[in-house]
Copies of this chain bind each other. A is one copy, B any other.
């Protein structure tokens, strides 16, 4: 057994079953070891942003880490933006980054770089394996670190000789630590606030928006009249029929402030006090209403559900049933194609247990409303604002859940950051439907340009904010990577295409001209 085989055997023993890869020469022994380790599935991405985004989507749905395989510092660098998103999603994830052999590192060959430097901003745990003998143990610790609540990124840097030299064997899995207890004073304070008769608002994320967390929150809200909002961006939330469907804190700061007006007690569940996404001239970035009291019921990594159980009991909501949506699908839309008719078609047609990966940005505004009474489904957001997560995360979610349909709600501008994901969708024959919202501009930037006070954009500025001249032709792009695709220009043709995709195994892209 060599170091690479020790690594893979340790991973599989610790429950890591999928590796998203974009290897190079220094990773060839890892690649060779794939054929001696039947428990590890390897999925190739043509660009590292696909690899890391897929690992994020996989982790969100599987609840456990995939590993990535990346080639030296530049390979890791290409994956960093989606690792930033994964860090914000608190996804458990193990990176394996190949490195030059230990005796080669000091020679400053062309591909030499400061890999630890690149890894540091996104990694909670970093290690450089020192020898083949230590690789198994390092791998076990990496998985343990990734699974440490609330979910972390572990980066294991693997010099080539630690992969090719003989190793004594694999290492046994290490148990990750459990959730930390919440602060009991916060529970007491929250109960007192909820019973005070003063206006209370819950702000939720993490375990607070798990299936069970939402049920507990619903009981509390019915009993006390508290308002409930989710964070603007959430890694994974169950929605639709049979679920307690919650609203979200709006993206734009003034709308978020408006949504929180009148709140006397802000109860934070597995999240922190709200701040605006960007700063704007003359505006505060902090969104906690002035004069309100903040109750930090739980922090990420803490035992949110036990705290919510205690609050349910404390407010006397134990016998209340959660309030859940009834199934009520709309009919087929007609007329012009626009974000509303797309949302209507989706709500009308999507299959039970669909997974919606949302990177639709400005074009997705109608989808939450239309889908909240559609079939039960799950919803994954862009958590870190680094666009280019949608298509890769859809790949990863589909690989984690091969029996479910994944729908990538994808804006055109952000699609182009990791468009290579289409090829992996085709190669792995994933059941992913890509709804490509083609408005042919960076619509969010045209809005934000005004909002930051930059006034009317001139022609050079406008040139930076639109995607025309030439138009992107996503049907061609998809075909170039083996994904069947069609363009839809009215509501009926979109509806037909969506129905066809949901009835057909494998990937499909619908370019919706809106």
Contact = CB atoms under 8 A, between A and B. Distances in A.
A160 B120 contact: no
A217 to B, nearest CB: 22
A506 B448 CA distance: 33
Interface stretch (A23-31, A54-62, A236-244): A23-31
Contact of A277 (B103, B110, B385, B427): B110
A482 interface: yes
A31 B457 contact: yes
Contact of A111 (B104, B161, B384): B384
A231 B126 CA distance: 34
Contacts of A72: 385
A201 to B, nearest CB: 19
B445 A28 contact: yes
Contacts of A472: 423, 480-482
Contact of A35 (B78, B160, B448, B461): B461
Contacts of A470: 423, 426-427, 481-482
Contacts of A276: 104, 109
How many copies of this chain sit in the oligomeric assembly?
2
Contacts of A443: none
A23 B464 contact: yes
A49, A80, A444: residue with the most chain B Cβ atoms closer than 10 Å:
A80
Interface in A366-390: 383-386, 388
Interface in A20-46: 21, 23-26, 28-29, 31-32, 34-36, 42, 44, 46
Given A472-B481, A476-B477, A477-B476, A463 B74 contact: no
A291 to B, nearest CB: 20
Given A426-B470, A460-B34, A107 B476 contact: no
Given A120-B117, A476-B476, A28 B78 contact: no
B74 A77 contact: no
Given A78-B49, A109-B285, A277-B110, A458 B120 contact: no
B480 A74 contact: no
Contact of A47 (B74, B121, B416): B416
B275 A109 contact: yes
A384 B278 contact: no
B416 A46 contact: yes
Contact of A461 (B34, B164, B477, B482): B34
Interface in A450-507: 452-455, 457-461, 463-465, 467, 469-477, 479-482
Contacts of A385: 72, 74, 110-111
A484 B449 CA distance: 33
Contact of A445 (B25, B80, B423): B25
A73 to B, nearest CB: 7
A110 B427 contact: no
A365 interface: no
A420 interface: yes
B78 A417 contact: yes
Contacts of A272: 108
A264 interface: no
B479 A448 contact: no
A277 B34 contact: no
A477 B474 CA distance: 9
A90 interface: no
A476 B480 contact: yes
B111 A386 contact: yes
Contacts of A160: 278-279, 452
A286 B454 CA distance: 55
A414 to B, nearest CB: 10
Contacts of A278: 25-26, 100, 104, 109, 111, 160
A335 interface: no
A113 interface: yes
A84 interface: yes
A233 B109 CA distance: 11
A438 B475 CA distance: 21
A36, A423, A481: residue with the most chain B Cβ atoms closer than 10 Å:
A481
Contacts of A413: 46
Interface of A: 21, 23-26, 28-29, 31-32, 34-36, 42, 44, 46-47, 49, 72-75, 77-78, 80-81, 84-85, 88, 100-101, 103-104, 107-111, 113-114, 117-118, 120-122, 160-161, 164, 233, 272, 275-279, 281, 285-286, 383-386, 388, 413, 416-417, 419-420, 423, 426-427, 444-445, 448-449, 452-455, 457-461, 463-465, 467, 469-477, 479-482
9 contacts: A25-B444, A32-B457, A160-B278, A161-B279, A423-B472, A427-B469, A427-B470, A472-B482, A480-B480
Of all A-B residue pairs in the complex, the 6 with the closest CB atoms, nearest first, are A470-B482, A35-B458, A74-B386, A476-B480, A101-B279, A77-B80
